[in-house]
Structure 1
Amino acid sequence: MSRFRALWQSSLKATRKALSWKLEDLTPPTETEIFSFRSKDDLRRWKLYADSEYGGLSSASLEIKATGVFSGHLSSEMSQDSRWVMNRSGFCGMRSTQSEGYLDLEPYDTLALRVRGDGRCYISTIHTENWVNVPGGAEDNTWQAYVFVPKGDWYIAKIPLVRYLPTWRGNVMDSHLEMNPSRIVGMSLSINAEGGPQGAVTGPGEFRLEVDWIKALRTT
C-alpha cells in the first residue's frame, strides 16, 4: 500500500506541476546562439574551402583574434597545370562541420550575424536535408542570401529566413520552394570576387571578415 501511495503522490505532484506551467515556459526564447567565435574549440566546428581545390589560386584562413577572423586572398586566375574546368574562380568559404542530428530553427524567423568587415559582400548559406530535387540528387539542399558588411564598425546583419533562396552550385532554383528550417545540417559563410550590391568592394584581392557570433531570432 505504501508503494502505491508513493506512486500516487508522485503522479499527483507531476500533474500539479504541469498544470502550473505558464505559457511563457512553453515558448522558445526570443533568440538562441548557434555559433560563437571566441576560442579555438569554436573554430574546430568549421572547415575551410576555396577554388584552390579545383586549380584556382585563392586562399583563406580562419583564426582567433579575440573573435573569429575569416581572411585571405581572392584570385581570378587558374593554375596552368589544373586538370579541372571551372566557369569561374575567385571564391573561398567556411562551412560548419556536421554533428549528429539536425539543427531545428522552426521556432525562429531570422538569422543574425555580428560581424565587422571590409566593405565586401559575403554569402550566408543554410544547408538542409536533401528533399528538393536537384541534378544528381546526392547533395544537401542549399539556401543562400547576400550579406553586405560595411567597412569599419561592428555590425549585426539580420536576415529573415524567407530571404534565403534555394540554389544549386551558385544558381538560383525555383524561388517558390520553401526551406524546412527544422532539418538544418550546417551553415556556411563564403565570398566571391564578383557580385554584390552597388557600392560593395568587388574583384580580386584581400578580404577580411571578423565574426563574433551567429544567432537565430524570433522577431514575431
Structure 2
Amino acid sequence: MSRLRAIWQASLNATKRALTWNIEDLMPPSERYVFNFNSKEELKRWHLYSDSEYGGLSSASLEIKDAGAGLCGMLSAVGIFSGNLSSEVTEGSRWRINRSGFCGMRSKKFDGFIDLDSYDTLALRLKGDGRCYISTIYTENWVNSPGQQEDNSWQAFVFVPKDNWYIAKIPLDRYLPTWRGNVIDVKMEMNPSRIVGMSLSVNAGGGIPGAKSGTGDFRLEIDWIKALRTQ
C-alpha cells in the first residue's frame, strides 16, 4: 500500500505542477517593437501625405540613413522624416481647403491588426527640431455603418527637443479620439487589441506653448517605435 500511495502522491504532485500557471511566463515581454527604422525595407511599410494632395505646396520625404556606429560598434540606421511646410495654395486649385501647412507619414495597413492590449504606453525614440509633432494610432472601426469606412483615429502631441535624442513615452489613455484632425467630444475608449496603423505628422500651426511653429523646413529622425508595459 505504501508503494501505491507513493506512486499516487507522485502522480498528484506532477499534475499540480502541470496545472500551476506561472503568470510571469504567460505575460508578454515588457516591451514590443512596432516599427524599427534600421533598414531601407522599413520604407515599404509607410507612405507620405501632405496638403499638396489638396492644392497646398507643402512637401515631405522619408528616407533611411546610416547613423554611424551604435552599441557594440555595429552600424545602425535611422529614419528621417523631413520637408517643408507652406501655407500657400496652388493658384486656381479646384480644391477648397480651409488650411494648409501639414505633412505626415502613415504606415500602410497592417496585415490584419496588431494586439497591444497587454501594453499601456507607446514609446518613440526621436531627434527633432523643436517642433511639436502628432502621433496617431488608428484602430478598427467599431461602427460599421454604411458610408463610414474610415478607421477610428486617436492622437497625442509629441514635443521633440532640438538636436538631442529623446524617448517620448505617451500613455495610451492620453490619446484622444479625433475626426479628420479635430478632437471629438464623445465618450469612447481606444481598443488597443485592434490597431491597424500609426502615423506621425506635423502642422505649421498648433502644438504646445514653447514649441517651434510656423512655415518652413522640418526634420524628425526616428529610431524606433515600441509598445511598453509600465504597470
Normalised by the size of structure 1, how large is the TM-score?
0.89
Aligned to 2:109: 98
Cα deviation for residue 170 of structure 1 reads: 1.2
Partner of residue 191, structure 1: 202
* Alignment-derived partner of residue 77 in structure 1: 88
* Corresponding position of 1:32: 32
Please tell me the residue identity of whatever aligns with 2:157. Answer: Y
Q: Measure, in 2, the Cα distance between the counterparts of 1:135 and 1:152.
A: 47
Describe the superposition over 1:151-184 as per-residue Cα deviations: whole angstroms up to 9, x where unpaired.
Answer: 0110000000000000001111125311011111
Equivalent position amino acid for 1:78 in 2: V
Letter matched to residue 31 of structure 2: E
With over 3 angstroms needed to count, the CA separation of the structure-2 counterparts of 1:175 and 1:64, relative to structure 1, is same
Q: Distance in 2 between matches of 1:16 and 1:43?
A: 50
Match of 1:124 among 114, 124, 135: 135
- Tell me the secondary structure at the aligned position of residue 60 of structure 2: strand
Alpha-carbon RMSD = 1.9
- 1:144 maps to what in 2? 155
Q: Residue 211 of structure 2 corresponds to which residue in structure 1?
A: 200
Residue-by-residue CA offset, 1:21-56 (whole Å, 9 max, x unaligned): 522110111100110011110111110011101110
8 Å CA contact 1:91, 1:191 repeated in 2? yes
3-state DSSP of counterpart to 1:56:
coil
Provide the residue aligned with 1:9 in structure 2.
none
Instruction: Determine if the alignment matches structure 1 residue 169 to structure 2 residue 180.
Output: yes
Alpha-carbon spacing, 1:17–1:58, altered in 2? closer, same or farther (3 Å): farther
Distance, in Å, in 1 between the alignment partners of 2:218 and 2:210 is 16
Bigger shift: 173-182 or 112-121? 173-182
SS, match of residue 168 in structure 2: strand
Over residues 163-209 of structure 1, what are the superposed CA-to-partner deviations in whole Å (9 max), with x where a residue is unaligned? 00000011111253110111111000000000111110000000000
Q: Quick one: distance in 2 between partners of 1:146 and 1:133?
A: 28
1:108 equivalent among 119, 128, 134: 119
State the match for 2:222 in structure 1.
Answer: 211
Q: Which moved more, 1:171-180 or 1:125-134?
A: 125-134
Identity %: 71
Distance 2:155 2:29 in 1: 25
| Structure 1 segment 4-83 matched on structure 2, within 5 A | 18-19=18-19, 22-65=22-65, 66-83=77-94
Q: CA deviation at 1:81?
A: 2.4
Relative to structure 1, the CA distance from residue 81 to residue 16 in structure 2 (aligned partners, 3 Å threshold; closer, same or farther) is: farther
| Structure 1: stretches of 5+ with no match in the other structure | 1-14
Q: SS of the counterpart of 1:126?
A: strand
* Alignment size in residue pairs: 207
Q: Structure 2-normalised TM-score?
A: 0.85
Which residue of structure 2 aligns with residue 4 of structure 1?
Answer: none
**In the alignment, residue 63 of structure 1 is paired with which amino acid?**
E
Q: Residue 69 of structure 2 corresponds to which residue in structure 1?
A: none
**Is the Cα–Cα contact under 8 Å of residues 132 and 141 in structure 1 kept in the other structure?**
no
- For residues 88 and 36 of structure 2, what CA distance do their matches in structure 1 show? 34
